[in-house]
A = this chain, B = another copy of it.
């Protein structure tokens, strides 16, 4: 069952940079490699694209197979194709980045029992291949995009207090934000709905919980509204 072509074809893979947020830490999901090259190194989840699936479907499939994660915000990031990025053969990797609500997804061990774990972005192990570069591009993209698109919510639980949203922004942007100005700005966008609930089991005044109002988002987006922070 070999496949033969008149001209050489590179292999094509999809890799995913999956971000999660937990307790003031931005985290990335990594998988430990079992085989050479880079045996035992941590790497981004990913794999070969199948001939009948789209690139995005391939990315979703690989993430589901390797980490069990299925509900996520997914967007194409960049395509990496330096000739020597994989020592075995020419591999073009179409990278996606994803945002998941960490609380909802305790990661399953991969279907093939490889190690899967969340690492804080601020404290990463050495990665396989050019995955450090891919991660770097993903971080810059996330940092840039969160300024003008309301994607931060994808990293938080369904219901969250404003302070948690602010901490998320401060973590990703790596700069402190003024509480009053942040609240004014975010609330004035009209994307947050008050759930009429408050935090439970906190040892201080409980905060109101909000949720992202997706219907409002679509309405405003269609009207050309600007979500710049």
Residues of A bordering B, CB below 8 Å:
1-12, 48-49, 51-55, 76, 78-79, 81-83, 90, 92, 94
Contact = CB atoms under 8 A, between A and B. Distances in A.
Contacts of A53: 83
B11 A9 contact: yes
Nearest to A55: B81
A51 B52 CA distance: 23
A127 to B, nearest CB: 20
A54 B79 contact: no
Contacts of A51: 8, 10, 83, 90
| Dominant secondary structure of chain A at its interface with chain B | loop
24 contacts: A3-B4, A3-B7, A3-B8, A3-B9, A4-B4, A4-B5, A5-B5, A5-B11, A9-B9, A9-B10, A9-B11, A10-B12, A10-B49, A12-B81, A52-B83, A54-B81, A54-B82, A55-B81, A76-B78, A79-B79, A79-B94, A81-B94, A92-B92, A92-B94
Given A1-B6, A12-B12, A92-B92, 8 more contacts: A3-B5, A3-B6, A3-B7, A9-B11, A49-B92, A55-B79, A79-B94, A92-B94
A92 B11 CA distance: 11
A1 B12 CA distance: 22
A67 to B, nearest CB: 22
Contacts of A79: 55, 76, 79, 94
A75 B78 CA distance: 11
A57 to B, nearest CB: 9
Given A76-B78, A76-B79, A78-B76, A55 B8 contact: no
A54 B130 CA distance: 14
A78 B92 CA distance: 13
B5 A9 contact: yes
A113 to B, nearest CB: 22
A11 B92 CA distance: 11
Nearest to A52: B83
A92 B2 contact: no
